[in-house]
Amino acid sequence: MKNLNHWLRKNPQPFAVLALVDGSEKRIELSGGGRQWRDLTKTVEALNASKLTAVDKAGSVLRCLELDVADEDDDKAPVAESETSSEIKVFAKLIAEAYDKGGKSYEPLLNNAMTFIERQGQRLAKLEAELERSRLHIHKLNGVIAEMNAEPVEPESEGGVLGTLVAGFAQAQAAQAQQARPVRAVPPEAKPKEGAK
């Protein structure tokens, strides 16, 4: 009865309502409280009126409404329910079609997004494998460096590996310097003259 409530509250708002019940007219005045419209609607429904007339304070007719009187054995109520259910079915069908169309319109975008995510996952897996290989290589190099630092220093090379390298470099420089010097011819030793003392 939301429509009845709306009809009663529509502007210009009535001062009273005349309800035709079983051939006699009953006057229902508004109570003026916050629940007056709900109370008026319930009263009209309880009276099972066949016609409503909204009047103003002077008694002038504002509007009229013919109501269908529903008997308990009347078949109109189920018809109204079937109409409502068919409207709900149509509405549900429209929602389902809109959902399907929406899903199909976003399907290429979702497929592209999933493909991108898969590629990124593969790249990430490759990078993790390379990172693990690099970690193992660094671990091996650290082991080699630790072994080299742990070797005892030989007595003749007090400077360790670096001292040996410097000594070898110095010897090579000295050898190159000797080869680069010109060789002077030394005259043979003069023999002492006979008779010289």
User: Is 0.75 topped by the overall pTM?
Assistant: no
Buried b (16+ CB within 10 A) or exposed e, 126-153: eeeeeeeeeeeeeeeeeeeeeeeeeeee
110-113 long-range contacts (CB < 8 A, ≥24 apart) are none
Q: Which region among 11-25, 42-56, 88-102, 147-161 has the lowest average model confidence (pLDDT)?
A: 147-161
- Identify the pLDDT of residue 73: 46
Is the confidence at residue 1, as pLDDT, over 80? Answer: no
Is the confidence at residue 134, as pLDDT, over 80? Answer: yes
Longest dimension (CA), the chain: 187
The single-letter DSSP state of residue 14 is P
Average pLDDT, integer, range 64-68: 79
Buried b (16+ CB within 10 A) or exposed e, 85-106: eeeeeeeeeeeeeeeeeeeeee
User: What token pair was written down for 156?
Assistant: 């003749």
Average pLDDT, integer, range 103-128: 86
Can you give the residue ranges of every domain in the chain? 2-66, 71-150
Q: Which residues contact 76 (CB under 8 A, 6 or more apart)?
A: 68, 70
**Angle ∠(154,156,158) on CA atoms, nearest 5:** 70
Q: Which of 78-92, 114-128, 155-169 has the highest mean pLDDT?
A: 114-128
- As a whole-number percent, the residues of the chain with pLDDT over 70 amount to 74
Average pLDDT, integer, range 81-104: 78
- Identify the pLDDT of residue 124: 92
Mean residue pLDDT across the chain: 76
User: What token pair was written down for 169?
Assistant: 């470099």
- Identify the pLDDT of residue 61: 84
Average pLDDT, integer, range 26-47: 78
Q: Which residues are paired to 20 by β-bridges?
A: 25, 51
